[in-house]
Structure 1
Amino acid sequence: MGWNSWNWFAEKVTDKDIRQAADLLVSSGMRDAGYVYLNIDDTWEGSRDANGVLHTNAKFPDMKALADYVHGKGLKLGIYSSPGPQTCARFEGSLGHEDQDAELFASWGIDYLKYDLCSFHNKVMRQAYSGDSAEAMVHQYKMMRDAYERMHQALLRSGRPIVYSLCQYGFDSVWQWGPEVGANLWRTTGDITPTFDRISLIGREQAGLARYAGPGHWNDPDMLEIGNGKLTLDENRTHMGMWAMLAAPLLAGNNLSQLTPEITSILTNREIIAIDQDRLGKEADRIFAEGPIEIWARPLADGSKALAIFNFGEQRAYLRGISLHLEQAGAAKGWNARDIWMAKELGPISDSTPFTVPRHGSVILCLSH
């Protein structure tokens, strides 16, 4: 859980912005709700000196001092690089300097590394093995895995615990090999945008990936867009609820200086965060889909079950005659339900208990007996 600079600041992020974000994570209550990683995305990088040591650019005059400031707020600092010669924004990447950069990050006090494929995919892989033949693709993907393994080993040699986040957009079914290269999380999809169509597509594409996630290694459907764009209250809740059901990393990307009570209440909802962060670490499976209605369920460590009803349609949905599929969720008739968004006890439910779900909305239930 944390906050990343890219969705709001993109290439304009500065040292001042990160310090202000640290202050606001504390004052808003987000830090105390669990958002502790403050992650600088692309465009902090300067040039390398004659010894190959990477320096920051003018926007970040002293990264060690910034890390000290962030740590002083009870937060952790994250940074960004690429296994290629350049980052996505065409700044200096880590290709051929993995050990130097890992040691540098450790010396600054960095706690999290987002490692973004970008130019390694577009230049190195394709130049080494051109073409789209099956053989070329195998070689390209092996190069990609080797590149991520090189930084994994460099991070280990640095001696500092650093969360390792792979950003390579789900290529080559990364969920199958991510743990082998030391990843703590890996992107399963292309970039998110603050539109409900994109958010809902990404969420639904996670079906079938639950068996690859667990404590210490997570599927990452990308950062949260809650509070960005023109998302409605129901769309923001659906976004948060789906990521919680997916046991996804919760990395906010909104303007912290303009937090509204509505957005703060969604991001800091203790019950929905508890589902996301449940120590059992079991990602939800989709147990029903018909038209715009989907039902997802996941088991929780205390024996209860989380069940989510999503309405991806353009009209309010009145669930009459649609089974809740309690047995598939691991529950049964007579279990008690609590509506998380409404913070309301509903009492015993059955498969035929009716629900009304707003357009682009969701109902998140905690089922217990």
Structure 2
Amino acid sequence: ARDAQRFADWGVDFMKVDWCHTAGLRGRTTYPKWTEAIRATRRPMVLSICEWSRDKPWEWAGSVGHMWRTTSDIADTWASVMDIAARQADLHEYAGPDHWNDPDMLEVGNGGMSDEEYRTHFSLWAMLAAPLVAGNDVRAMSEGARAILTAPEVLAVDQDPRGSQARRVRRDDVSEVWARPLADGTHAVLLVNRGDARANVVARWDEVLDAKGSRRGNVRDLWERADVGERDGYYDRTLAPHACALVKVAFT
């Protein structure tokens, strides 16, 4: 309680409580003590729960904190990003306004991946409605990293007020498709090529909407910030290795 009050006195807005040196403790019984301590200060503070998913925080942390780590620490590698993304596929029902799954900070600009891979990383986190915490040195970053981190239409997906986390609606050997409904009635759809060769990736509207029947949709490319046009039943793109396409679809 004294620590929480000290942070409040300092004007702290965001508190991450890590899980180091906690032998013999459980997250679901320890973190509520921090919740009560913060409430007692009467200063609103975001509580970030970080026990690396050991106690399945998505099952209990929604009434305790505002965000919770869903995996162990991220690394600046393509394999790490895709492994973490895969672990979010069944967690969409637990996320929403003021209670978010946290797949860890962003690695954009740290040098371990290509800009193409960083765009896919950033797109996945945006689709997951993830808290976006820049993990690079923001004082000295490349123009490529800056363009990714400030892409307005991609950021708008992450910050959409409906707060729905994307579902993974299709996955095969080399590709996957994620979809999430947005507050304005449209859908964000992400096509990803996980493979090491160029691949055609298809997003089918019945899978995006989880409903049978033929549908047409007006498509906008959110990275290019350009309208693509109307597509009947599906949208497909041939993508470079580890690349993605992030689009917004208004169904008719």
| TM-score interval, smaller chain | over 0.9
**Matches of 2:135 and 2:236 in 1, distance apart?**
35
**Correspondence for 1:173 among 56, 64, 74:** 56
* 1:259 corresponds to: 141
Shift of 1:229: 2.6
Residue 71 (structure 2) pairs with residue 189 (structure 1): yes
5 Å-filtered alignment, 1:314-329, equals 314-319=196-201, 322=202, 324-329=203-208
Shift of 1:197: 0.6
Q: Is the 8 A contact 1:333 1:348 kept in 2?
A: no
Q: Structure 1, unaligned stretches of length 5 or more?
A: 1-98, 126-139
**Matches of 1:362 and 1:199 in 2, distance apart?**
13
**Residues 349 and 101 of structure 1: CA distance in aligned 2, closer, same or farther (over 3 Å):** same
**Matches of 1:361 and 1:118 in 2, distance apart?**
36
Shift of 1:257: 2.1
Q: Secondary structure at the match of 2:232?
A: coil
Residue 244 (structure 2) pairs with residue 362 (structure 1): yes
Alignment-mate amino acid for residue 362 of structure 1: C
Structure of larger gyration radius: 1
The structure whose residues are more often helix, as a share, is 1
Q: Secondary structure at the match of 1:255?
A: coil
**Matches of 1:174 and 1:189 in 2, distance apart?**
10
Alignment-mate amino acid for residue 198 of structure 1: S
TM-score w.r.t. the length of structure 1 is 0.65
Q: Structure 2, unaligned stretches of length 5 or more?
A: none
Q: Secondary structure at the match of 1:146?
A: helix
TM-score w.r.t. the length of structure 2 is 0.95
**Residues 191 and 308 of structure 1: CA distance in aligned 2, closer, same or farther (over 3 Å):** same
Shift of 1:342: 1.8
Alignment-mate amino acid for residue 193 of structure 2: N
Runs of 4+ that moved beyond 3 A: 351-354
Shift of 1:352: 4.7
Alignment-mate amino acid for residue 283 of structure 1: Q
Alignment RMSD (CA, Å): 1.4
- Deviations along 1:75-114, whole A, 9 cap, x unmatched? xxxxxxxxxxxxxxxxxxxxxxxx1100100111111100
**Matches of 1:306 and 1:217 in 2, distance apart?**
20
* 2:46 corresponds to: 163
The structure whose residues are more often strand, as a share, is 2
Q: Secondary structure at the match of 2:205?
A: coil
**Correspondence for 1:110 among 9, 12, 15:** 12
Q: Secondary structure at the match of 1:202?
A: helix
**Matches of 1:183 and 1:102 in 2, distance apart?**
14
**Matches of 1:292 and 1:351 in 2, distance apart?**
22
- Deviations along 1:153-196, whole A, 9 cap, x unmatched? 0000011110000001111211010023x210000000001111
Q: Secondary structure at the match of 1:354?
A: strand
